[in-house]
Structure formats: structure tokens, C-alpha cells
Amino acid sequence: MISLITPTLNRSDFLTRQLHYLADMGFKGSVLLGDASDKWHFKETEKTIQRLKGKLNVRHYECRGLSILDTKEFLGQRTTTPYCVFLADDDFICPSGLYKCVDFLEHNPDYGLAYGFTVSTRIWSSSPYGDVKQVYRFPHPPMDTDSGVQRLQRFLAAGSYATVHDVHRTSDWQEVLKGSIGKPWSRHGILFDGLTPSIVSATRSKAKELDCFYTVRYGHDAIYFNDDDYKMIKDMRSINEVIFLSQR
């Protein structure tokens, strides 16, 4: 039915937490891990997968040397379910909300994306566990207009959400990410691993927000971050400039 696409790098502790959560929630889909970790973290994750064998369907790929964007394309090419969604290795997804999104797309072929509401949390720690200091609803721009230009404008105006977190048809995901592997711009970190596919998917497809709990974004001190990416986003002056950068 649906696959979770998760790139990861040297965060076996976060992955252990996530995989146990999915198993405890009875998640019935597939989990595709694109693991660029060193040997120690890779083996630790493999131990967790073996402990959960029979409870969770996990496919663990070694992706050392690939960027996050490269890994998303790599995993998308190996997805065999009709639907997929990106899940960061430090976030949580609600299976019942996920299934509701799949059901909506099954019955509404004019939409390409579906999502529920997202909560973002913040802890002052670099570990997977700690006291929660902040909780707030994470905004998603409305993108259900028929105009691709209007959807793109709304997405860029929002500035903080990537549509890779929405449920996609796998065929659309593969088209959106097609040709990323090995391109120089695929190694620009947060800017291109989220922005580039989001620009394409926002332009291609309408997105529907459903009345369901969907994801928890987990903010912490060990989050992947690149100051240059955010400075570039801040300095962008027009939609045309963003589109130009995405096509380089």
C-alpha cells in the first residue's frame, strides 16, 4: 500500500526509536532505509531490524556517498507500493492519518498529494530523548487550487514546508526525483533536497489537507543543518530565481 522513504546518516539511535515506534503502532507498510552511515551505525541499525523481524517490513540499503536527495531518488526507484512518503529519521508519522491520505488519493485522481496536520516539537538535546520545551502546529500552505503557478506561489510564500512530507503516488515521486543522482546541485543539502522536489511537485499536483493527525516533527540540537542553505533562501529575490536555481 505505502512505503516510508528514510535517508539517514550516523543516527542509529534515532532510527532505533523510530523503528520500534512503527512496530508498536502496527504499521503495515514498508520502510525503505537509505543508510549512508559508517559501519558501526549501519550494524547497529541492522541489529534493530533483526530484533523487529516479523513485526516490521524494513529494507535496509547501504547508500554511503549519496546525498539526501540522491538517496530519495535511489529509494523511490526501489519502491514497489503504489504510494510513498518521505519520513525523516528523527520524525514520527501517525499510521491512521497516513492510511486516510492513501484512501483519499485512491478516490480522488485529480489530486497528487495528501497530508494531515503536523505538530512540531523542540527539545534542548542532541539525543532522541529529552524534555519537550515547545510544541506548535507546523503550517502547510493551501495548495488545492487548479493553477500550478498559484500553488507554487503559495508554497514559496510559506517558506518552511517541503511537500516531500506529503503522501505521493510512487509514480509521481519517481518523476519528481528523476535525474537527481550525481548532479552537482543534489549536494546542496537542505536547500535542494527539500526545495527542488517540492517546487516540482507543487507545480505538478494539487494537494489536499485532511482532518487527521499526520506527523510529529522532532526539533533537536543534532538536526541536519547548513547555514549556507538558509542564507541562500533568505537572499532569494524572486520566484524566477528559485526556479532557475532548481534547474541548474
Q: Which of 86-97 are b and which e, b meaning 16 or more Cβ less than 10 Å from the residue's Cβ?
A: bbbbbbbbbeeb
d(CA 128, CA 18): 9
Q: With a threshold of 0.95, does the pTM exceed it?
A: no
Torsion of CA 173, 177, 179, 182, to 10 degrees: -140
Check residue 174 and give its pLDDT. 93
Q: What's 173's domain CATH number?
A: 3.90.550.10
Domain of residue 192 covers: 2-246
Q: Which of 146, 3, 150, 174 is nearest to 76 (CA)?
A: 174
| DSSP letter for each residue of the chain | -EEEEEEESS-HHHHHHHHHHHHHTT--SEEEEEE---HHHHHHHHHHHHHTTTT-EEEEEE-TT--HHHHHHHHHHT--SSEEEE--TT-EE-HHHHHHHHHHHHH-TTEEEEEEEEEEEEESSSSS---EEEEEEEP-----SS-HHHHHHHHHHH-S--GGGSEEEHHHHHHHHTT-TT-GGGGSTHHHHHHHHHHHHHHH-EEEEEEEEEEEEEE-TT----HHHHHHHHH---HHHHHHHHT-
Per-residue confidence in pLDDT tens, the chain, 248 aa:
999 999 999 999 999 999 999 999 999 999 999 999 999 999 999 999 999 999 999 999 999 988 888 899 999 999 999 999 999 998 999 999 999 999 999 999 999 999 998 888 877 777 778 787 888 777 777 788 888 888 888 887 776 667 888 999 999 999 988 876 655 544 555 556 677 788 888 888 899 999 998 888 876 555 544 444 444 444 443 444 444 444 44
Q: Domain count of the chain?
A: 1
**Spacing of C-alpha 9 from chain mean position:** 15
Check residue 248 and give its pLDDT. 40
Check residue 193 and give its pLDDT. 67
Check residue 156 and give its pLDDT. 79
C-alpha cell at 166: 506529503
